[in-house]
Copies of this chain bind each other. A is one copy, B any other.
Amino acid sequence: MARLSELEAVVLGLIWQDGPCTPYAVRQVFLRTPSPQWSGSAGAIYPVVQRLETRGFIRSEAHAQGRRKSRRYRASTRGLAALKKWLIHSQQDWVVGVPPDPMRTRYRFLGLLSAGRRRAIVGKWRKNMERHIRAVAEDFDARKKTGDPFSYLLARGALLHLFSRRDWLAEAAKLLRRN
């Protein structure tokens, strides 16, 4: 039994949590988070949902509203088992390790720019970061109110990450002032 891709697992998980629900509802979760991992594009979600159904991880029922055709999906027992397996078999290094970070990637080559340009870019990053932090903090507060500890922790992780990045940028700005 082929392993679940990251996106497949997340879609399956969302259908478990929110189901029965439509693929469109799943998309909205991706489209609305302030820190999306995936685009949530139709071109990704619909094929994933179809795959999950043919593999027996989710089942669907017609759900006509007016003359619009629509299907609602829910996770099957097999699907839950697959999702549990996916959670348990995730002790590899790449799960624990440092995730990719486009800002860090760019930092490596800042030496190519003049000191002035460098400072300008880092300054812009810091400004954008503050704006981003506000958005994520808002999402965090909203989740806190729901009372679901997992939802809370999810947003908390995103926020803490941004804080650490902010500290890092502050440290970098200080260092670059002398270089």
Interface residues of A (CB under 8 A from B): 6, 9-10, 13, 16-17, 34-35, 37, 80, 83-84, 86-88, 90-91, 93-113, 117, 121, 124-125, 128-129, 132, 136, 148-154, 156-158, 160-165, 167-168, 171-172, 175-176, 179
Contact B132–A110 (Cβ < 8 Å): no
- CA–CA, A117 to B98, complex, Å? 24
Contacts of A94 in B (CB 8 A): 102
- CA–CA, A127 to B106, complex, Å? 30
Pick the residue among B109, B161, B175 that contacts A87 (CB under 8 A).
B109
Contacts of A165 in B (CB 8 A): 157, 160-161
- CA–CA, A121 to B88, complex, Å? 7
Contact A163–B164 (Cβ < 8 Å): yes
A-B contact pairs, 21 of them (CB 8 A): A6-B102, A16-B112, A17-B111, A34-B97, A37-B105, A83-B112, A87-B106, A87-B113, A90-B121, A95-B125, A96-B128, A97-B132, A98-B158, A99-B102, A103-B157, A104-B158, A149-B176, A152-B175, A153-B168, A161-B168, A164-B164
- CA–CA, A178 to B160, complex, Å? 21
- CA–CA, A16 to B83, complex, Å? 44
Q: With A100-B99, A125-B96, A162-B98 as given contacts, are A108 and B151 in contact (CB-CB < 8 Å)?
A: yes
- CA–CA, A167 to B153, complex, Å? 12
- Min Cβ gap A9→B in Å is 8
- CA–CA, A52 to B75, complex, Å? 46
Residue of B nearest to A125 (CB): B96
Contact A90–B106 (Cβ < 8 Å): yes
Contacts of A37 in B (CB 8 A): 100-101, 105
